[in-house]
């Protein structure tokens, strides 16, 4: 086996590193800006951001996007969507370079996922008139159930509901308005996000139990191995270093668990 001299070995390593970095930038930042797809709602959570008066996002995923931009030493351009289905479309098509979204099998066929940063569960908020107390109580004939269009949550609810169906709405705001106006009986969403909206619909509550366990992860378009490796390395290090925990705490999510390093 040929042994390289120290100087030649260093040059070879540097050249390999430069080539790898060039591939990362070509795949992950093709426009010179890191275009990040974020999903907004009236209230921020581990997944949703809110839009400030100047249009800028505030929340966990916005902070993680900023940290990724700083690591890559590139400016971040936020692209905001009212639901994760549209964020998935944009990531798949290359309209955005990276996004954060709940994971399910349908999305795995469309985008490439890196590590998860949070785990949670999906359940329902219900109006007082329903009398529902558990997830099972929601699955009754005549129950008007709604969820956000083209999301893991609405797909999971649709699979588990046997005695009624779920109707899609475009955004969280639309769903809360439907509940408040008496046009829907139950709204499917992540448990960590629902408490804010329960307060906005008098008499409503979150039922006991869950119909889905869920992980939210970082994602890029398929066919970009260097980009996927870079975002996976970033998020793994963000969990190891405690960055994700600090971001959760900053946004009042002290009870939200960071996903294990193995996920």
- pLDDT tens for 46-76 read 999 999 988 899 999 999 999 999 999 999 9
Calculate what percentage of the chain has a pLDDT beyond 70: 92
Q: Are residues 113 and 223 in the same domain?
A: yes
Q: Are residues 225 and 97 in the same domain?
A: yes
Domain coverage including residue 102: 10-120+215-250
pLDDT at 11: 46
- pLDDT tens for 155-214 read 999 999 999 999 999 999 999 999 999 999 999 999 989 999 999 999 999 999 999 999
Is residue 262 included in any domain, yes or no? no
- pLDDT tens for 13-32 read 334 444 458 889 999 999 99
Q: Are residues 225 and 109 in the same domain?
A: yes
Question: CA-CA distances (angstroms) from residue 51 to 40, 59, 100, 147, 253?
Answer: 7, 9, 16, 21, 18
Is residue 70 included in any domain, yes or no? yes
Which CATH number fits the domain that encloses residue 158? Answer: 3.40.190.10
* Nearest Cα to Cα of residue 217 among 102, 78, 89, 87: 102
pLDDT at 53: 87
Q: Are residues 23 and 82 in the same domain?
A: yes
Residues 6+ apart with CB under 8 A from 263: 115, 116, 119, 215
pLDDT at 7: 52
Strand pairing of 166-169 and 98-102?
A: unpaired
- pLDDT tens for 148-161 read 999 999 999 999 99
Is residue 255 included in any domain, yes or no? no
Residues 6+ apart with CB under 8 A from 209: 123, 134, 135, 136
Nearest-Å Rg of the Cα atoms of the chain is 21
Q: Are residues 113 and 151 in the same domain?
A: no
pLDDT at 6: 52
Over range 231-252, report the average pLDDT.
96
**For residues 142 and 236, what is the distance between their CA atoms, to the nearest angstrom?**
45
**For residues 171 and 169, what is the distance between their CA atoms, to the nearest angstrom?**
6
Give the global pTM: 0.82
- Total structural domains within the chain: 2
Confidence of residue 115 (pLDDT cuts 50, 70, 90): very high
**For residues 107 and 110, what is the distance between their CA atoms, to the nearest angstrom?**
5
Residue 52 near residue 58 (C-beta atoms within 8 A): yes
């Amino acid at each position: 086996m040929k042994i390289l001299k120290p100087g030649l070995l260093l040059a070879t390593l540097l050249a390999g590193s430069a080539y790898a970095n060039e591939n990362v930038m070509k795949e992950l930042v093709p426009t010179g800006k890191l275009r990040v797809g974020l999903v907004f709602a009236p209230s921020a959570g581990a997944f949703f951001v809110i839009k400030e008066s100047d249009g800028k996002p505030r929340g966990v995923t916005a902070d993680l996007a900023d940290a990724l931009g700083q690591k890559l030493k590139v400016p971040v351009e936020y692209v905001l969507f009212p639901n994760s289905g549209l964020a998935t479309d944009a990531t798949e098509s290359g309209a955005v370079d990276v996004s954060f979204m709940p994971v399910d099998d349908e999305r795995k066929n469309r985008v490439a996922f890196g590590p998860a940063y949070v785990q949670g569960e999906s359940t329902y908020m219900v109006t007082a008139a329903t009398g529902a107390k558990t997830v099972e109580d929601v699955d009754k004939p005549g129950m008007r159930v709604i969820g956000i269009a083209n999301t893991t949550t609405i797909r999971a609810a649709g699979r588990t509901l046997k005695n009624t169906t779920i109707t899609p709405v475009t955004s969280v705001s639309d769903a809360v308005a439907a509940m408040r106006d008496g046009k829907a009986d139950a709204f499917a969403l992540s448990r960590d996000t629902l408490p804010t909206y329960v307060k906005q619909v008098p008499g409503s509550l979150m039922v006991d139990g869950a119909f889905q366990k869920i992980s939210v992860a970082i994602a890029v378009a398929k066919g970009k191995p260097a980009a996927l490796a870079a975002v996976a390395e970033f998020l793994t290090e963000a969990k190891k270093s405690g960055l994700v925990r600090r971001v959760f705490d900053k946004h009042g999510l002290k009870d939200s668990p960071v996903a294990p390093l193995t996920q």
